Every structure is written in C-alpha cells, then in structure tokens.
Chain A
Amino acid sequence: MEIHSYFSTNYLQNTYIINKKDRQETIILDPFEIEAPLFELLENLELEVTSVLLTHVDKQKWSSVQSLKRIYGTIEVYGGIDDDRKHDLVSVKELDFFETCGISVQPIFIPGHHSDSLMFRMDQFLFSGSLIGAGLIDKADESFGRALLIQCLQETFEELPKQTILFPSSGPPSSVGAELKTNYSFRHQERLTARISAKLFSEEISR
C-alpha cells in the first residue's frame, strides 16, 4: 500500500491518496479542495481516482466529490451517513470491513461528534479525519458528546497496535502509542468527566 498526502493551503487540511502498489486505481480520502497541484500529483503518480472515503460528509467535501466525478466519471463514495437519499454514497458505518481499490478497509464509527464520523483503518495506518489529531481531540457539540467521544477514542486506541500510524485531517501525523501518551484530551479525561458529573449532579439537586 502506498500513501501520499496533499496539504490544502486554503483549508489547512490534509487529503490522502492511497493506492495499492502497481495499481492505477486509487482512493482519495477527504478531498477538501480540487485544485491544480492535487491533479499534478495524481498525474505524476499516474493514478486514477475510482474511490472516495469520507470521514465525515460536509458541503465542502461533497462539492469536491462532485468535481472528481466530473473528471473521473464513476466513483464509489464511502461514508457513514445512514440516510443516503441526499448523498449518492455507500454507507459503511455498520460494516466490519469492505474492500476498495484492492485494499481492505476497516471503518470505525466513533460516537460523540457527528452521526457519520468515521475513522478508516488500512493495514498499519489509521485515518482519523477531524476526530483526533496529534495531541488534541476535536471539539464536540456539547460536553456529554465530548466526554463520550474521548472515551470511545481512548478505548479504540487501547485496542489498536501501538505502532499504528495516525494520519489526521489537520496537523502533523502521529501514532496510536504516541497519542495514548501525549494527547491532552486523554490525559484530561478524568477531570472532564468528573466536572461533567459534578455539573449534572448540581443540576439534579437544583430541580
């Protein structure tokens, strides 16, 4: 398996190009922007996009998917949205594994943030989208969701091999082992949970 990264200077986000060695068909993970340097990279690598993986569907990425379809024709799009009437997408949220471009992909649904938030594991690599970056966990909508997100991420990470390399949407790469040691949110989880419990308890009393 080969991985290349593309950094969008407009959105400050990473897009990953993943292909099986010696195969032309390729996966694009989280295309934030379809612009000339990304195409140059794909052209230089002689790759053809046939598959898109989305760690979360938003307007920007969906617009990029449409641009890719106009260029490459038929593309399979994989994500975590259950109701796909609005989006022509294969929901893989409930699957243990699926295969695309000759690569076996494990989708990992993480609750607590968006209802379609997925991480994708391929071999010894984990693509975490915006859920977790080096040292930090994404903001969730409210404190319970955030505590749930942190707990689920921590439990997931504890089960993965420590040398699994982490490729997030924003910021530098890391590893599962490094995150368990140095992620601010994992280290502060107890304090956060305790704070939320205290808040919930005080709300109960004042009712």
Chain B
Amino acid sequence: MFSRHLCTHSGCNAFSLGSDSYCAVHHPDLSRVYQELENEVATSGVITNKNLTGLGFKNKSLRARRWIGCDFSNGNFEGCTFDESSLLLCTFEGATFVSCTFDVCETMEISFSGANFKDCTFRDSKIILTNFNGAILQDCQFIGTDLMYSRFIYAYLSRTLFEDCNLKAVHFIESNLGNASFRFSNKEEAIYDAV
C-alpha cells in the first residue's frame, strides 16, 4: 500500500491527510483527523496507507499494530510507544521522538532520515533496511536489536548505546560516533567508508 494525493489548497504541494483533501497545515478540522485515527488504532490491527504528516502525538500507545505505507514525516512523538508493532514501508522523515519506545518492534523499509531521537529505546527489535541517514540520536539505546542493512549515513549519535546488536552491513559512513558505545555488538561487520 502507498498512495498519495496532493492537498487541494491552492498552490500547496504537500500530501493530503488520510482520505481527506487537505494537508495538516490547511486542514479545517484536525481534531477530527486525530479522533478518526484513534478510533482506527482502537479497532483495527492493521493501519495502512495513511498520510499523517505533521501531526503530533503525546503519550499515545501505538503498540501492537501493523503500520503499512503510512507517512508520519515531520511528526512529533513524545512519550509514545510502538512496542510490539511492525512497520513496513512507512516514512518518518524529519520527525521528532522524545522518550519513545520501539521495543520488540519490527521495522523494514522505513525512513527515519533527518529525524531527531532523544531518550528512545529499541530493545529486542528488528530494525532492518531502515534509513537513519542524517538523523540525530541522543541518549538512545539499541539493545539486543538486529539492525542488518540499516543506514546511519551522516547521522549524529550522542551517548547512544548499541548493546548485543547485529550490525552486519549497517552503514555508518560519515557518521559522528564519538559518544556511541558498541559493547557485545559485531561492530567490525558494519561499513564505515564509501567505496
């Protein structure tokens, strides 16, 4: 799944929200969008093909759901949990995550490019083929997590821990790893130079 329509507001190049005609900036009734999403999360195990760009979520449980083809770009997530969720073909470009958890979570073909993570955890998860290029991660923890084929190109990792993680073919090209810790992880199987 993954289809998009442009916002119908004159001159706007953003995608419209959900099945509506307007983007988050031009939408006349955002509270209805939040309510509809909340109802869907409460009643459905699979949430597909939603454009939710620019929306904010505080202390929301988004756990144990399958998210397919959803766009959360430039969103704000504070105290949210994606635990036990699976995410496929979703994008979170430029999103901000504060104190969020992605524990026992599976992501594949997801873009977190340019996102900002603070105090987030990825525990016992599969974060495969996931794009963290240009992302900033501060005080984050990846524990017992498989990160195979994920990319952290031009990422900035401050006080970030990779403990007992699979880093096979993970790209850390031009990343600032100054304060990152890699104990019990196969750091030598990651890629640090562009060929």
B13 to chain A, nearest CB (A): 6
Contact with A along B110-142 (1 / 0, CB 8 A): 110110000000000000011101100000000
B63 at the interface (CB under 8 A from A): no
Please report the C-alpha to C-alpha distance between residue A163 and residue B113 in the assembled complex, in whole angstroms: 12
CB pair A124–B15 under 8 Å, yes or no, is yes
Please report the C-alpha to C-alpha distance between residue A134 and residue B88 in the assembled complex, in whole angstroms: 16
* Contacts between chains A and B (CB distance < 8 A), count: 108
B189 to chain A, nearest CB (A): 15
The listed residue (B3, B73, B150) touching A172 by CB distance below 8 A is: B150
The listed residue (B2, B4, B13, B131) touching A134 by CB distance below 8 A is: B131
CB pair A163–B15 under 8 Å, yes or no, is yes
Q: Is the interface of B mostly helix, strand, loop or mixed?
A: loop
Residues in A1-32 with C-beta less than 8 Å from chain B: 1-5, 7, 12, 14, 21
Q: Is the interface of A mostly helix, strand, loop or mixed?
A: mixed
Please report the C-alpha to C-alpha distance between residue A12 and residue B169 in the assembled complex, in whole angstroms: 11
B77 at the interface (CB under 8 A from A): no
The listed residue (B2, B129, B154) touching A3 by CB distance below 8 A is: B2
In the bound complex, residues from chain A placing their C-beta under 8 Å from that of B149 are 12, 171-172
Using CB atoms, name the residue of chain B closest to A161.
B13
The listed residue (A7, A135, A139, A177) touching B153 by CB distance below 8 A is: A135
CB pair A174–B69 under 8 Å, yes or no, is no
Q: Please, how many residues of chain B have a CB less than 8 angstroms from a CB on the other chain?
A: 36
A98 at the interface (CB under 8 A from B): no
State whether A184 and B111 are in contact (beta carbons under 8 Å apart), knowing that A3-B2, A12-B149, A134-B131 are contacts in the complex.
Answer: no
Residues in A135-163 with C-beta less than 8 Å from chain B: 135-136, 139, 161, 163
B106 to chain A, nearest CB (A): 13
Using CB atoms, name the residue of chain A closest to B148.
A12
A-B contact pairs, 6 of them (CB 8 A): A2-B2, A21-B3, A135-B133, A135-B153, A136-B153, A171-B129
User: A: which residues have CB within 8 A of B?
Assistant: 1-5, 7, 12, 14, 21, 123-125, 134-136, 139, 161, 163, 165, 171-175, 177-178, 181-185, 187-188
User: B: which residues have CB within 8 A of A?
Assistant: 1-4, 6, 13-15, 49, 69, 73, 88-89, 91, 93, 108-111, 113-114, 129-131, 133-134, 149-151, 153-154, 171, 173-174, 194-195
